[in-house]
Structure formats: structure tokens, C-alpha cells
Amino acid sequence: MTPSRRTALKVLAGGGCAAAAAAAPALAREPKVAPPGAMGMLYDTTRCIGCKACVFACQQANGLEPERDPSGLHLAPVDLGARTKNVIKLYKDGPRMSYVKAQCMHCVDPACASACMLHSLQKDPKTGVVHYDPSYCVGCRYCQMACPFGVTKFEFDKAAPKIVKCELCRHRVKGEAKKDARGFTRYASGEGPACCEVCPREAVVYGTREELIAEAARRIEENPGRYFENRAYGLTEAGGTQVLYLSHLPFGLIGLPDLGGRGVPHVAYSIQEGIYRGFVAPVALYGALAVAMWRNRRGAAPPAGGEGVPS
Ligand code: SF4
Ligand code: SF4
Ligand code: SF4
């Protein structure tokens, strides 16, 4: 972002937030909660060996052409992109290192869906999966600006470009839900997210959010001292996510941003409500929304610090 654009956003933000803070002493929108059948994934850095089987399985399952790294020598995606819905990155902090899987977090209160004027991005009321329907998309990329995890990507090189992001392999998951031998929810199609099915170490597993929270608690209890803060990332961050992380390193060191406990749409809605109640000019509304986005972008840490993993 250029300094002038940053300055403009700061000025707009200051005015918008001041107005909102003065006019909105109480929140008008209840925080969202995950639906009872919310599906998600649990990723555990301590089990991941960086084999990238999940990356290639994701590309195959989603019919995506493999991406080359910047050298052009390796078929190794270095970050999420228009042909990569799932990537493994390497984060280093002195002698400490960690592989980290990145894909859509399937937020409980998704900023991308909230920013999409045409409802191309929506949260499934039953599974909570945040899915995309390109038939309504006009390519405004507001969803890209709004996502606090830097997940949504755009097909700049296509004549009819679409947004690209993980949809939890919903095209593979069909039929009635039932429990498998280990107590995880599975669907009649027998297929789940490709990344989870190929992982040789159960570093990424699929289930309902409740099952995954219980699995995270089990791993923490069975391995004292192994996990940062003895908790999973995503329980509360940004209003909660359906993809949860267990990590041996501090979350901030593996690109998981500190976003507080409220969803971005929840914050933005509260600001809007305050402005309208105070009869402040619409320009202040845009200023307030701009700062929500600006703060959001500043907190979007995933691409920083991580490296691509060579093949
Ligand atoms: S991580 Fe980004 S793209 Fe995924 S649901 Fe949340 S806001 Fe939307
Ligand atoms: S759930 Fe499917 S689309 Fe999402 S990262 Fe895993 S394999 Fe890729
Ligand atoms: S398949 Fe599993 S172990 Fe291999 S890189 Fe992916 S998450 Fe890590």
C-alpha cells in the first residue's frame, strides 16, 4: 500500500471510528455461533512432516493445474494462489521451525461473505462451510480485501476470472452423516477433504468442530508441554473458525494473526449501527469500513515469514 493511500485510510479511519465510538455505546448485533453440524479440520504442527501430500491431493481433487515456484524448476506452490487452495509453508525462528498448512479457515462469522454484495460467498447453514458461487461474482474482490487470513485469491490470468479458495472439498462430501469407528462424523459418499484423507500422520483431520475441539483437548492432555498455551487457535480468534490449529510454536510465529475475539463483520456492523444512529454523513461510514479493512489487512500475517517448501 502506498503512503498516501495509507494516510488517507488513517484519516478516514480516525473520523469514522471517533464518530462510531461516540454514537454506539452498545453492540447491536449478536456474535455468530457455529451451526451444530459445523464441519472443519484440525491441523497439528507437531505431527506435520512437510511431505506436501495434502497439497498435491488438493490440486487433484479440485482439478487445479500445479503451480511452479518462482525459479520455475519445481512444481512447488510457495503460497496460496489462483491455482493453490492449500499450501504447506515453513516458518523459522532461530533454531526453531515449523511446517504450517494454510487454506480457508471457514470462519464462524466470515468477513469474505459479509463483504460480498452479491452473496457469491456464503456460509452453509448446516455445515458452516464457506462456499463460492461464481455465477453471481462480478470480480470486485472486496472479499479478498476483507479476509483477515489473506486466503481468497483471484484468477488474474483468465478471461472470465473467479475467486479461488478452499471449500472444504464439499463436492466430495455427500449423503447422510454418520460416525466412523473412531467417533468422527463421516458422510455416506465415504469421501472427505482430500488433504485429510492422504495425510500419513493425521496432522490434519476432518470432523465436526465439536469433535475436533475434543480431539485437540485429548492431544493436549496426553502430551503435557507440547503445545503452545495448551490450547487450539481458532476457538475464539476472529469470532471463531472451523479450522483449528495446534502448534508447538507461538501462533504469531507461524503466521496466525492475533485478531481478538470478535469477527470482522461483527466489528464493522457495530460501527455502522453507531453511525446510522448518530445521523453522521455516509462518508463517515465508508471511513469506518475502510479502517476495519485497513486494520484487518495489517493483521493478515500468514504470507509473512513463511517460506515455500521445496519438492
Ligand atoms: S478465512 Fe477468509 S476466505 Fe475463509 S471464511 Fe474466513 S474470511 Fe472467508
Ligand atoms: S479441504 Fe479440499 S480444498 Fe480444502 S485444503 Fe483440503 S483438499 Fe484442498
Ligand atoms: S500431508 Fe500431512 S504431514 Fe504431509 S504436509 Fe500435509 S499435513 Fe503435513
What's the pLDDT tens digit per position in 51-110? 999 999 999 999 998 877 777 777 678 899 999 999 999 999 999 999 999 999 999 999
3-state secondary structure of 273: helix
Q: If you measure from the C-alpha of residue 97 to the centroid of ligand 3, how many angstroms do you get, rounded to a whole number?
A: 15
Count CB neighbours of 29 within 10 A: 15
3-state secondary structure of 292: helix
Of 168, 82, 59, 81, the residue nearest 123 (C-alpha): 168
Is the model more confident about 284 or about 176? Answer: 176
| Tens-digit pLDDT profile for residues 115-137 | 999 999 999 999 999 999 999 99
Domain boundaries, the chain: 35-258
d(CA 88, CA 310): 10
Ligand 3 interacting residues, C-beta cut-off 6 A: 48-54, 88, 99, 101, 198-199, 201, 203-204
Label residue 78 exposed, middle or buried (CB < 10 Å: 0-12, 13-18, 19+).
buried
CA distances to 134, 220, 273, 282, 292 from 279, in Å: 36, 50, 10, 9, 20
Count CB neighbours of 222 within 10 A: 8
d(CA 229, CA 247): 9
**Alpha carbons within 13 A on the beta-carbon side of 149:** 28
Residue 188 and residue 197 in contact, taking contact as beta carbons nearer than 8 Å: no
3-state secondary structure of 221: helix
Q: If you measure from the C-alpha of residue 169 to the centroid of ligand 2, how many angstroms do you get, rounded to a whole number?
A: 5
Edge-first strand listing for the sheet containing 96-102: 96-102, 87-93, 306-308
Q: Verify whether ligand 2 is closer than 6 Å to residue 106 (CB atom).
A: no
Q: If you measure from the C-alpha of residue 57 to the centroid of ligand 2, how many angstroms do you get, rounded to a whole number?
A: 8
| Tens-digit pLDDT profile for residues 36-55 | 999 999 999 999 999 999 99
The β-bridge partners of 24 are none
Q: Which one of the ligands is nearest to 300 CA?
A: 1
Indicate the pLDDT class of residue 289, thresholds 50, 70 and 90: very low
Q: Verify whether ligand 2 is closer than 6 Å to residue 192 (CB atom).
A: no
Residue 17 and residue 271 in contact, taking contact as beta carbons nearer than 8 Å: yes
d(CA 289, CA 265): 10
Count CB neighbours of 79 within 10 A: 17
Rounded to the nearest integer, the mean pLDDT of the chain is 82
3-state secondary structure of 178: strand
- Is the domain spanning 35-258 CATH 3.30.70.20? The answer is yes
| Tens-digit pLDDT profile for residues 218-249 | 999 999 999 999 999 999 999 999 999 999 99
Residue 220 and residue 246 in contact, taking contact as beta carbons nearer than 8 Å: yes
**Residue of the CA atom closest to atom 6 of ligand 2:** 195
d(CA 100, CA 257): 13
Report pLDDT for 293.
56
Q: If you measure from the C-alpha of residue 279 to the centroid of ligand 2, how many angstroms do you get, rounded to a whole number?
A: 45
3-state secondary structure of 9: helix
